[in-house]
Amino acid sequence: MRVVRAGSNFVDAGARALARPIEECLARRERVSFAVSGGSTPCPVFRLLAQMPLDWGRVDIYQVDERVAPAGDPARNLTGLTEALLDRVAAIVHPMPVEASNLDAAAVQYGAELPSSLDVVHLGLGDDGHTASLVPGDPVLDVTDRPVAVSRPYQGHRRMTLTFPVLACATRIVWLVAGANKASMLERLRAGDQRIPAGRVHREHAVLVTDELAGS
């Protein structure tokens, strides 16, 4: 795992860390797959990323995870992603179908939409060590036979999430981690501590961008 201690330049460094592998993939193939997580940390990064001169018309954007909630609900990752990135670029967006009546069937459907390997995956880190919606103690942590699964309720919502096997096949993973509340979990992530979900994500092709608080 390559670590970028961005300090106060976190937003710029994060946007560049995402743009670089997208641009490299665009130089090699016709279309590129980019999977994004939600949360408040990446929104400023996504706004800057949207301004970068990438050929967004050749990018397919997928979701790493999503809360089961109605369309437009503030709890939905898609709501914040739309404002920060999706409304600003010409990419093709593949939202997770969390409004479906049969969530397990919808997860299978979304898994069928995914490419065999994602080119670039953005991940965040929770202060309990979760990433995507792979949270401590959830049975989804042990799912190995399908690319997408639905979690138990966590912080008020069930969630649809990519599973570890999909993350393991990604060409490049870019972690964006900011805030003093993430500092202890960040050290465990960097150490590859598999007692936290984030520590179980493969590290060979990963870049970690941190701000001065998380990196302290």
Q: What SS3 string covers 73-107?
A: CCCCHHHHHHHHCHHHCCCEEECCCCCCCCHHHHH
How many C-beta atoms lie closer than 10 Å to residue 73's C-beta? Answer: 14
Task: Say if CB 143 and CB 149 are below 8 A apart.
Answer: yes
CB 36 within 8 A of CB 64: yes
Cβ contact 173:200 at 8 Å: no
pLDDT at 214: 72
Look at residues 135, 144, 126 and name the one whose alpha carbon lies nearest to residue 185: 126
Residue 141 DSSP one-character state: G
Count Cβ atoms within 10 A of the Cβ of residue 40 and give its class: 0-12 exposed, 13-18 middle, 19 or more buried: exposed
CATH of 2-210, one of 1.10.10.10, 3.40.50.300, 1.10.3720.10, 3.40.50.1360: 3.40.50.1360
pLDDT per residue as tens, the chain (216 positions): 999 999 889 999 999 999 999 999 999 999 999 999 988 889 999 999 999 999 999 999 999 999 999 999 999 999 999 999 999 999 999 999 999 999 999 999 999 999 999 999 999 999 999 999 999 999 999 999 999 999 999 999 999 999 999 999 999 999 999 999 999 999 999 999 999 999 999 988 999 999 988 776
Query: Any idea where the domains of the chain sit in the sequence?
Result: 2-210
Q: Torsion angle of alpha carbons 108, 113, 117, 121, nearest 10°?
A: -90
What is the number of alpha carbons within 13 Å of residue 202 lying toward its C-beta? 14
For residue 28, the model assigns a pLDDT of 95
